[in-house]
């Protein structure tokens, strides 16, 4: 029998924060003792926060490790291990690794190729070999504005641990880039496109969407059902788009771009997820609705670290301060994402659940991770 006891702790429970001790035994939460009960051999947490391990539903951090610079393909096993360790170090104990499916080959300067199946195989192999520290699931970002989505989706099946399929549409002039000038800044800045190349890219993407869009959207919805995965929408901008998402059976909406879309999601019982960088920075880098505005209007349910892993913990504490409710802030990065994808064995500190737990010390408005336990085993 393995047992760890964390005492003198400020324990974040689903609906409240209590002072006491947490007993973890054989990978599960065995007991929560409120008050100053003394436990021989316990870890003295010195009043630090003890909260559930964070759950990340959407991150392109793995892609950043695979391609640390444009044109650089870093050895994948090393990149996956580094990505895993980075998330563990910032308190994330479950991650859904976002991989794009759907490629474009017809545009010379702005093309992008297939990679998801190979990278998924390498990640799943490392997971099966107990090499990785935290729990990894797959999140397939199904790009409907592409040329090869159906072929790439068909390379995955129910055995691949695909937890999420998100409906992505990056057609210029729609959703995230309704303002094409923002897309111009992004494409010309990241890919070095000339004005003529950018205009060609826009025309090419619009033509691809007209040719493939409807068929690809239907294929992605069907694939999610085939995998047994949760379906998510991405960058909904209007109530009409949300209504379409609802007919597909979408469970949560990633980064709605307007307050109108976020409110429409709540009207249809679709959870709203926003990016932690948006929340911490005070606004969207794409000019879309600010996450803190949705939080203030009670339209924010889940937070994703998006492109800054450490921002997930910071955002939970930020929201706890904003709402005057630490437990509620923590739920946006623990219980709420777990519920959205049907993980009922984690996401909160409760007797019998997985002992995925982190220790956090507040530092002003943010916090530092001082300990990470996955299934009761200390990893950091």
Dihedral angle at the C-alpha atoms of 321, 324, 330, 336, nearest 10 degrees?
Answer: -130
Helix (H) or strand (E) holding 207: helix 195-227
343 alpha carbon, distance to own chain's centre: 14
> pLDDT: is 292 or 180 the higher one?
292
Distance CA 80, CA 13 (A): 32
CA gap 290, 295 in Å, rounded: 9
The predicted pLDDT at position 212 comes to 81
Q: Are residue 155 and residue 182 in the same domain, yes or no? A: yes
Per-residue pLDDT band for 40 (boundaries 50, 70, 90) equals: confident
Average pLDDT, the chain: 91
Q: What does the alpha-carbon distance between residue 214 and residue 217 come to, in Å, rounded to a whole number?
A: 5
Q: Are strands 28-34 and 43-44 parallel, antiparallel or unpaired?
A: unpaired
Residues 144 and 76 in one domain: yes
On whether both 149 and 59 belong to a single domain, the answer is yes
Distance CA 317, CA 364 (A): 10
- Residue 224: name the closest of 172, 290, 136, 158 by CA: 158
Least confident of 51-60, 183-192, 371-380: 183-192
Lowest mean pLDDT among 11-20, 198-207, 256-265, 304-313: 198-207
b/e sequence 136-163, b meaning 16+ C-beta within 10 Å: bbbbbbbbbbbbbbbebbeebeeebbbb
Same domain membership, residue 119 and residue 22: no
pLDDT band at 14 (very low <50, low <70, confident <90, very high): very high
338 and 376 housed in the same domain: no
Residues 210 and 134 in one domain: yes
> For the segment 186-223, what is each residue's pLDDT rounded down to a tens digit?
555 555 667 676 666 677 777 778 788 789 999 999 99
Q: Residue 10: which CATH number?
A: 2.30.40.10
Residues 96 and 26 in one domain: no
Residue 171's pLDDT is: 64
Measure the CA–CA gap between 294 and 5, rounded to whole angstroms: 38
Of the pLDDT bands very low, low, confident and very high (cuts 50, 70, 90), residue 380 is confident
- 53-57, 190-194, 229-233: which range is least confident on average? 190-194
Full residue range of the structural domain in which residue 20 is found: 1-53+346-380
Residues 374 and 263 placed together within one structural domain of the fold? no
Domain co-membership, 178 together with 321: yes
Choice between 28 and 170, residue whose per-residue pLDDT is larger:
28
How far is 216 from 168, CA to CA, in rounded Å?
A: 10
What pLDDT is recorded for position 337?
98
φ and ψ at 228, to 5 degrees?
75, 30
Q: Are residues 131 and 235 in the same domain?
A: yes
Assess whether pLDDT exceeds 90 at residue 19.
yes
Q: pLDDT tier at 73 (50, 70, 90 boundaries)?
A: very high
365 vs 319, more confident: 319
How many CA atoms within 13 Å lie on the side-chain side of 291? 31
State the burial class of residue 172 (Cβ atoms within 10 Å of its Cβ: 0-12, 13-18, 19+): buried
Domain count, the chain: 2
In angstroms, the CA 322 to CA 333 distance is 15
Asked if 95 and 178 sit in the same domain, the reply is: yes
CATH code assigned at 214:
3.20.20.140
Taking residues 288-316, report their average pLDDT: 97
Is the pLDDT at 344 greater than 80? The verdict is: yes
> Residues 324, 62: contact at Cβ < 8 Å?
no
Predicted confidence (pLDDT) per residue in 260-283, tens digit: 999 999 999 999 999 999 999 999
Is the pLDDT at 112 greater than 80? The verdict is: no
Is residue 95 located within the same domain as residue 32?
no
């Amino acid at each position: 029998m393995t047992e760890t006891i964390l005492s003198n702790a400020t324990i974040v429970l689903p609906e409240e924060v209590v002072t006491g001790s947490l007993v973890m035994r054989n990978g599960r939460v065995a007991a929560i003792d409120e008050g100053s009960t003394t436990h021989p051999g316990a870890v003295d947490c010195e009043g630090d926060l003890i909260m559930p391990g964070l759950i990340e539903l959407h991150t392109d951090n793995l892609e950043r490790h695979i391609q640390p610079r444009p044109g650089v393909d870093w050895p994948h096993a090393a990149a996956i291990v580094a990505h895993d360790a980075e998330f563990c170090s910032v308190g994330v104990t479950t991650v859904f690794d976002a991989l794009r499916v759907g490629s474009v080959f017809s545009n010379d300067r702005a093309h992008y190729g297939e990679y998801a199946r190979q990278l998924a195989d390498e990640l799943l192999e490392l997971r099966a070999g107990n090499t990785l520290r935290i729990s990894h699931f797959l999140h397939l970002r199904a790009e409907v504005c592409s040329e090869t989505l159906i072929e790439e989706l068909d390379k995955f099946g129910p055995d691949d641990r695909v937890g999420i399929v998100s409906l992505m549409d990056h057609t210029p002039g729609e959703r995230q880039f309704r303002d094409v000038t923002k897309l111009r800044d992004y494409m010309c800045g990241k890919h070095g496109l000339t004005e003529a190349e950018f205009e060609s890219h826009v025309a090419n993407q619009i033509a691809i969407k007209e040719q493939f869009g409807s068929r690809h959207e239907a294929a992605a919805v069907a694939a999610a059902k085939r995998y047994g995965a949760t379906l998510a929408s991405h960058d909904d901008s209007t109530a009409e788009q949300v209504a379409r998402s609802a007919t597909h059976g979408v469970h949560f909406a990633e980064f709605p771009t307007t307050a109108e879309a976020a409110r429409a999601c709540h009207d249809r019982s679709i959870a709203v997820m926003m990016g932690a960088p948006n929340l911490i920075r005070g606004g969207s880098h794409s000019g879309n609705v600010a996450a803190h505005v949705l939080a203030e209007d009670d339209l924010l349910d889940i937070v994703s670290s998006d492109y800054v892993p450490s921002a997930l913990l910071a955002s939970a504490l930020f929201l706890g301060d904003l709402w005057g409710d630490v437990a509620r802030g923590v739920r946006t990065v623990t219980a709420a994402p777990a519920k959205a994808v049907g993980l009922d064995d984690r996401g909160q500190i409760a007797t019998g659940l997985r002992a995925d737990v982190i220790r956090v010390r507040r530092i002003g408005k943010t916090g530092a991770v001082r300990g990470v336990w996955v299934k009761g085993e200390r990893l950091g």
